[in-house]
Structure 1
Amino acid sequence: MTGHIEPMVGRYVHVDIAGTTHRIYFEEAGSGIPLVCLHTAGSDGRQWRHLLADEAFAKAFRIIAFDLPWHGKSNPPADWDGTEYQLTTARYTETIRAFCAALDLDRPVVMGCSIGGRIVLNLAIDHAAEFRALIGLEAADFQAPWYDTSWLNRPDIHGGEVCAALVSGLVAPQSPAETRMETLWAYKQGGPGVFKGDLYFYRVDGDLRGRTKAIDTSACPLYLLTGEYDFSCSPEDTLRTAAGIPGAAVVVMEKLGHFPMSENPDQFRRYIAPVLDAIKQQKTI
């Protein structure tokens, strides 16, 4: 064969969530320490393809990215009757834990971005012993909504285009045009109401103010990295959150916005490489 074949392999796993079987799509590459990657609201696991294809990281980590139900190649459950989709803290947490259990992962590292970064904080609060380390990208205990979600699921508006338009300003100006457009394309393909449903968790149900003080970073290291151009979860939001968590490592990433792993993967690599090395070596940065 003469074509370039990327190393990740995609499969489905059947996962029991709240008594209902879900067929969840995931891609993985590499071997070693399990590293589970959580995509942003309204998108899917394609955001992590550059990390999955990184041969150096794959030598020490089994990198796994899955699509939440309703996202990407993970359909809604078979018994879904069309009821409006809304992501809650409890549901999101249970989904991650059930997925890790279904793959029999031994104390995985979990790295999430945006809503994935927020839920990482909840994992640190309630389930730290289950994880080797937690990485929150564009993560904070709360951000005041700057958007009107009623625009995200209306019959007179193309949902995918308005979702992509909403987040387009969150990409740093230095991000290459190719990866910028790839990041936005996933939003244009999202299912009806899915982005809006994810933002229910982000703006209503997932307020962690007052709870993050319970995080014990000696039990599970916590890394928080936020792009300097992110105005949804601003560096100030992340720094404020980290200030209330003794031992949390915090970095503001230059020339990056809200989607670091997909909008500018080379720049993101400069920041995530030391974190993954620290986890591999079981040291702090």
Structure 2
Amino acid sequence: MSFATTDDGVRLYFEEAGDGSPIVFVHEFGGDHRSWEPQMRYFSRRHRCITFGARGYPPSDVPEDVEAYSQKRAVQDIVAVMDAAKVDKAHVVGLSMGGFATLHLGLEQPDRALSLVVAGAGYGAEKEFEDYFRDVSLEVARNFEAQGSEVFARTYALGASRVQFQNKDPRGWREFAEQLGEHSALGAANTMRGVQARRPSIYDLADGLARMTLPTLVVVGDEDDHCIQPGVFLKKTLPACGLLVMPKTGHTLNLEEPDSFNRALAEFIAQVEAGRWSRRDPRATPDQIMKTS
């Protein structure tokens, strides 16, 4: 078992497979390092792939103090894993909570990324739902503590943007729900309170995002309602951003539609490594409908 140790003494479990240019996978709140298994198996054929458990997700350490959890710390933890694996730069792929961490990595430490994939990132970003998202995050934290992960996972796994996965792949969804039920209730509660409920809206980061030139692919499901408009915002704001909307798809993109996700990710990385994923052509101005002169 491999562990990275952060500057505040937290051990983070990571796994790796394959050789080639590195890809680091950053999981969502409802997942863990195991959530990237379809991608680890596919991309390790030609890349060095790394997946890790965030703090609060065993076998990574579970700090008891909620102040040990934050959006900034989530970025530092990605870097700690890369340092332990002796990776200078990587294609960084994040889903949901991991997508936010990936985006912040691009803002705070762009020199560590070859490219960014920001999938299913939007919850809490919409300004009109900021208060609601904060309140529901705290309620989720209380439910994990009061009911325990095994019980509350049965509710959480049936969210409005997760039933698509259940309908398409009942066996895969059941595995996801069972793994969620194995999570640390303390780790889940602290992650909700310290990371999710406190993170800034991406709309408040517009100035920094407009200056971030890293090749970026934003991926959203068209039934993941609270990620669609934030995805459009990122497309319009990031200079070198592509937007992929996956049809009839919810939040757990990489598990719900692994073949489509893998093909899109493979094509994106190939274009980046060929130097063909460039900034948007300035002639493609969004305020023009038809050219007349």
Which TM-score band (shorter chain)? 0.7 to 0.9
Matched, 1:274 2:267: yes
Q: 1:120-151 CA distances to partner (integer Å, 9 max, x unpaired)?
A: 11112121122111111112481434535324
1:40 aligned partner: 28
> What secondary structure sits across from 1:246 in the alignment?
coil
1:228 aligned partner: 222
Q: Against the structure 1 CA distance between its residues 83 and 15, is the aligned structure 2 distance closer, same or farther, given a 3 Å change threshold?
A: closer
Matches within 5 A, 1:201-280: 201-215=195-209, 219-231=213-225, 233-280=226-273
Q: Against the structure 1 CA distance between its residues 192 and 213, is the aligned structure 2 distance closer, same or farther, given a 3 Å change threshold?
A: same
Amino acid at match of 2:49: I
2:289 aligned partner: none
> What secondary structure sits across from 1:105 in the alignment?
coil
Q: 1:32-72 CA distances to partner (integer Å, 9 max, x unpaired)?
A: 11100001114311100111111xx2233111100112203
Q: Against the structure 1 CA distance between its residues 217 and 247, is the aligned structure 2 distance closer, same or farther, given a 3 Å change threshold?
A: farther
Is residue 153–residue 192 contact of structure 1 (8 Å, CA) maintained in 2? no
2:125 aligned partner: 142
1:112 aligned partner: 94
Which is worse superposed, 106-115 or 245-254?
245-254
TM-superposed deviation, 1:178: 1.2
What is the rounded CA distance, in whole Å, between the counterparts of 2:177 and 2:257 in structure 1?
13
Q: Which runs of 5+ in 1 are unaligned?
A: 1-10
> What secondary structure sits across from 2:6 in the alignment?
strand
Q: Could you say what the CA RMSD is over the residues aligned between the two structures, in angstroms?
A: 2.5
2:48 aligned partner: 62
1:94 aligned to 41, 63, 76, which one? 76
1:7 aligned partner: none
Which is worse superposed, 162-171 or 220-229?
162-171
Q: Which runs of 5+ in 2 are unaligned?
A: 279-293
Is residue 153–residue 180 contact of structure 2 (8 Å, CA) maintained in 1? yes
What is the rounded CA distance, in whole Å, between the counterparts of 1:229 and 1:216 in structure 2?
27
Amino acid at match of 2:102: V
Give percent identity, aligned residues only. 19
> What secondary structure sits across from 2:102 in the alignment?
helix
Is residue 228–residue 256 contact of structure 1 (8 Å, CA) maintained in 2? yes
- Answer 1 or 2: which has greater helix percent: 2
Matched, 1:166 2:156: yes
What is the rounded CA distance, in whole Å, between the counterparts of 1:150 and 1:255 in structure 2?
29
Is residue 161–residue 188 contact of structure 1 (8 Å, CA) maintained in 2? yes
Give aligned pairs, total: 266
Q: Against the structure 1 CA distance between its residues 217 and 62, is the aligned structure 2 distance closer, same or farther, given a 3 Å change threshold?
A: farther
Matched, 1:153 2:153: no
What is the rounded CA distance, in whole Å, between the counterparts of 2:178 and 2:138 in structure 1?
19
Q: 1:173-209 CA distances to partner (integer Å, 9 max, x unpaired)?
A: 5531111112222211111132332233223233332
TM-superposed deviation, 1:94: 1.2
- TM-score with structure 1 setting the length: 0.83
